[in-house]
C-alpha cells in the first residue's frame, strides 16, 4: 500500500459521502466540489492508495428501472474496455468459475442455477464464438459484439467508490468507478464471456494483439442479491427464448403466473415436488418419482385450468388479475391433490412400478386434459373471466377496475353454461380407471410399436406384461382427454379391460 506524504492526512473510505439517490453508493464529487477535487488530485483518499483492492473503470453510472422505487431501481455502470482489462476486471469465466471467493460472495447458488451447463450444445456455442473472435482478431471479419451484462454482489457494495466527472443529468453520471476486485457474474452474455476468456488464452490471438485490440462493452450492476440476480437472469432471458424454460421460470419471482403457482401449490402434494429442469433427480422421466411435473408443465396446467385453452401465455396474466384467479388455481390444484396425490409416491415401494409407468394421470397430456375439464365444469364462474382476459390482451393492459367491470358485463351479456358441475367432475375423476394400458386409454393415445411393427410390450412388476401406450402431449390428445372426461360416454373410462397384447 502507498501512503500520503508526510504531514498529509489520509481521508478514510468511511468518511466519503453516501449518495442516497444511488442507493448510498460512496461518491467523490470531482466536478462539483473544489474540496473533493483537490483531495482527489492530491491523492488524499484511502482508496487511491489501495491498487491491490480495486479495479478502476471509466464509464457511465446510471439509475435503471423504476427510479421512484427503492427496491426496484438498479445502479449500474456501462464501460468499454480492451480484452486485457475485461479479463482482469470480470475475473469470472462462466465455463470455469473461480474456486476461491465466489462462494463467499453469494455466487455459488446463482452459478449452479444459471451457468453450470457449459457442455453439449452450449460448449459448442462457446467454441464457435471463440472461432469467430479469433477470425475477428486476425482481421478476417468485423466483430459485432453485444453488450455483456453482469453483476457484483451486495457483499462488496459498501467498498465501491465512484468519482463524478460530470453529472449534467442527475440520473446519469460520467466518471471513474473504483470497484472491488471481486468476481463479476454475467446475467446476459455468458457464452460470449466464456469465449473471450478463451481468446485471452489463445496464443495465436494474443500474438496478434487481441489483448489490446479487441474491445468489448460491459454493463455491471452493483449491489445485487442472489434473488435479484436470478430475477435479472429471468427477465433478460425471458419466455420464448432458447434458454432453459424451467430455469427461467424458477428465477422469475416477480411474474404474476409465478405468484399464482406458489400460492396454489402451498400445502399440497406439489409443494417441493416441481422440477426446475436441471440434472439428476430434477428431471421428469418414466421412472423418476421425486417430482410430479416440471415448472413449465405446472404453469401450463394453471393457464389451461383458468382459461380453457392451451394457447394462453404466462405474459397474458397480470398482477391485477391475481385476486380473481388465485382462488380458482388453488381449487384446481387441491382437486388434483385429493384425486391423485395418494398415487404420486415420492419413492416407489419394493416390487411396484413408478407411478408414471402405471397411471395416465402422471403424464402432462392427461393433467392438461383434466385442467381443461376443470374449466368446462366451472365455465359459469370462469367463462366471464377468461373472456375478460382475452379482451384485456386485445386492449393492451387495462386497469384492475376495467378488468372487473368487463367480467360483470360478460356475466350479464352472455350465458356461460358448464358442461358438467364441479362436483360431478370430481366424482368422475375418482371413478375413472387411470391405468395406462387399459383399452380405453390406448384408444385415445395409441400404442408404441416394436421394430417389427407390432405392439410394444413392457414388463410391469405389479401388473405383468402390458401394451406400452404412447403419451403424446399434443393439443389433439389433450382435447380428446377433456372431451371424454366431460362427455356423455365418460363411463367408458371406468372399464377394466386391458389393451390386447396381440
Q: Could you report the per-residue pLDDT of 421-477, keeping only the tens digit for each?
A: 999 999 999 999 999 999 999 999 999 999 999 999 999 998 899 999 999 999 999
Instruction: Give the pLDDT band of residue 54 (cuts 50, 70, 90).
Output: very high
Instruction: Give the pLDDT band of residue 278 (cuts 50, 70, 90).
Output: low
Predicted pLDDT of residue 336 = 98
248: pLDDT strictly greater than 90: no
User: Which long-range contacts does 163-169 make (Cβ < 8 Å, 24+ apart)?
Assistant: 163/27, 163/28, 163/30, 163/40, 164/27, 164/28, 164/29, 164/30, 164/31, 164/32, 165/30, 165/31, 166/31, 167/29, 167/31, 167/32
Q: Is 168 helix (H, G, I), strand (E, B) or coil?
A: strand
Instruction: Give the pLDDT band of residue 314 (cuts 50, 70, 90).
Output: confident
Rounded distance, CA 18 to CA 34, Å?
Answer: 18
- Quickly list DSSP for 130-143: HHHHHHHHTTSS--
Q: What is the pLDDT of residues 70-114, one digit of tens each?
A: 777 889 999 999 999 999 998 888 887 665 554 444 555 555 555
C-alpha closest to that of 298 among 253, 249, 347, 255: 249
1: pLDDT strictly greater than 90: no
Predicted pLDDT of residue 394 = 66
Calculate the average pLDDT of the chain. 87
Contacts of 469 (CB under 8 A, 6+ apart): 436, 437, 441, 442, 445, 446, 447, 448, 499
Instruction: Give the pLDDT band of residue 241 (cuts 50, 70, 90).
Output: very low
Ranking 164-178, 366-380, 393-407 by mean pLDDT, the lowest is 393-407
Instruction: Give the pLDDT band of residue 47 (cuts 50, 70, 90).
Output: very high
Instruction: Give kind and range of the element (H or E) at residue 127.
Output: helix 121-137
Phi-psi region of 282 (alpha: psi -120 to 50; beta: other; left: phi over 0): alpha
pTM for this structure? Answer: 0.64
Ranking 5-14, 129-138, 217-226, 397-406 by mean pLDDT, the lowest is 5-14
219: pLDDT strictly greater than 70: yes
Predicted pLDDT of residue 72 = 78
2: pLDDT strictly greater than 60: no
Rounded distance, CA 310 to CA 35, Å?
Answer: 65
C-alpha closest to that of 217 among 77, 62, 79: 79
Question: What is the grid cell recorded at 496?
Answer: 377394466
Ranking 135-149, 272-286, 426-440 by mean pLDDT, the lowest is 272-286
Q: What is the pLDDT of residues 113-133, one digit of tens each?
A: 555 556 666 677 888 889 889
Mean local confidence (pLDDT), 35-50: 96
Instruction: Give the pLDDT band of residue 66 (cuts 50, 70, 90).
Output: confident
Mean local confidence (pLDDT), 416-423: 95
% the chain with pLDDT above 90: 61
Rounded distance, CA 65 to CA 51, Å?
Answer: 32
Predicted pLDDT of residue 361 = 97
Amino acid at each position: 500500500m502507498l501512503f500520503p506524504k508526510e504531514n498529509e492526512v489520509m481521508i478514510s473510505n468511511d468518511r466519503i459521502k453516501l449518495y442516497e439517490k444511488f442507493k448510498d453508493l460512496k461518491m467523490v464529487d470531482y466536478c462539483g466540489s473544489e474540496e473533493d477535487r483537490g483531495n482527489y488530485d492530491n491523492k488524499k483518499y484511502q482508496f487511491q492508495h489501495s491498487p491491490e483492492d480495486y479495479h478502476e473503470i471509466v464509464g457511465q453510472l446510471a439509475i435503471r428501472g423504476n427510479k421512484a422505487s427503492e427496491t426496484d431501481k438498479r445502479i449500474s455502470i456501462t464501460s468499454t474496455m480492451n480484452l486485457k482489462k475485461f479479463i482482469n476486471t470480470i475475473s469470472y469465466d462462466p465455463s470455469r468459475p473461480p474456486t476461491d471467493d465466489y462462494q463467499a460472495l453469494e455466487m455459488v447458488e446463482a452459478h449452479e442455477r444459471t451457468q453450470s451447463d457449459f457442455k453439449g450444445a452450449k460448449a459448442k456455442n462457446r467454441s464457435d464464438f471463440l472461432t469467430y473472435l479469433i477470425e475477428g482478431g486476425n482481421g478476417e471479419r468485423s466483430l459485432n459484439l453485444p453488450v455483456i451484462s453482469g453483476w457484483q454482489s451486495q457483499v462488496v457494495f459498501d467498498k465501491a467508490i465512484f468519482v463524478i466527472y460530470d453529472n449534467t443529468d442527475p440520473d446519469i453520471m460520467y466518471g471513474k468507478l473504483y470497484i472491488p476486485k471481486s468476481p463479476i457474474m454475467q446475467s446476459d452474455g455468458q457464452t460470449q464471456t466464456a469465449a473471450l476468456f478463451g481468446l485471452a488464452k489463445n496464443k495465436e490471438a494474443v500474438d496478434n494483439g487481441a489483448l489490446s485490440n479487441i474491445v468489448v462493452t460491459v454493463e455491471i450492476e452493483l449491489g445485487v442479491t442472489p434473488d435479484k440476480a436470478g430475477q435479472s437472469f429471468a427477465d433478460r432471458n425471458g419466455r420464448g427464448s432458447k434458454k432453459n424454460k424451467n430455469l427461467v421460470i424458477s428465477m422469475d419471482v416477480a411474474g404474476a403466473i409465478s405468484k399464482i403457482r406458489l400460492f396454489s401449490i402451498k400445502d399440497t402434494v406439489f409443494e417441493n415436488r416441481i422440477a426446475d429442469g436441471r440434472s439428476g433427480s430434477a428431471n421428469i422421466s418414466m421412472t423418476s418419482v421425486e417430482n410430479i411435473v416440471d415448472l413449465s408443465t405446472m404453469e401450463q396446467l394453471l393457464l389451461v385450468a383458468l382459461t380453457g385453452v392451451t394457447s394462453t401465455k404466462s405474459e397474458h396474466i397480470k398482477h391485477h388479475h391475481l385476486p380473481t384467479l388465485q382462488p380458482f388455481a388453488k381449487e384446481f390444484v387441491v382437486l388434483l391433490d385429493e384425486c391423485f396425490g395418494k398415487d404420486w409416491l415420492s419413492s416407489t415401494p419394493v416390487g411396484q412400478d413408478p407411478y408414471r409407468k402405471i397411471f395416465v394421470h402422471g403424464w402432462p397430456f392427461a393433467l392438461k386434459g383434466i385442467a381443461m375439464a376443470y374449466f368446462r365444469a366451472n365455465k359459469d364462474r370462469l367463462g366471464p373471466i377468461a373472456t375478460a382476459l382475452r379482451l384485456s390482451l386485445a386492449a393492451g393492459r387495462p386497469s384492475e377496475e376495467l378488468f372487473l367491470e368487463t367480467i360483470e358485463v360478460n356475466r350479464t351479456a352472455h350465458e356461460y353454461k358448464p358442461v358438467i358441475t364441479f362436483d360431478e367432475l370430481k366424482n368422475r375423476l375418482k371413478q375413472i380407471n387411470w391405468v395406462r394400458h387399459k383399452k380405453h386409454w390406448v384408444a385415445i393415445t395409441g400404442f408404441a410399436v416394436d421394430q417389427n411393427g407390432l405392439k410394444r410390450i413392457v414388463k410391469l412388476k405389479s401388473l405383468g406384461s402390458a401394451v406400452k401406450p404412447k403419451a403424446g402431449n399434443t393439443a389433439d390428445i389433450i382435447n380428446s382427454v377433456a372431451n371424454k372426461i366431460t362427455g356423455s360416454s365418460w363411463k367408458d373410462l371406468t372399464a377394466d379391460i386391458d389393451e390386447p397384447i396381440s
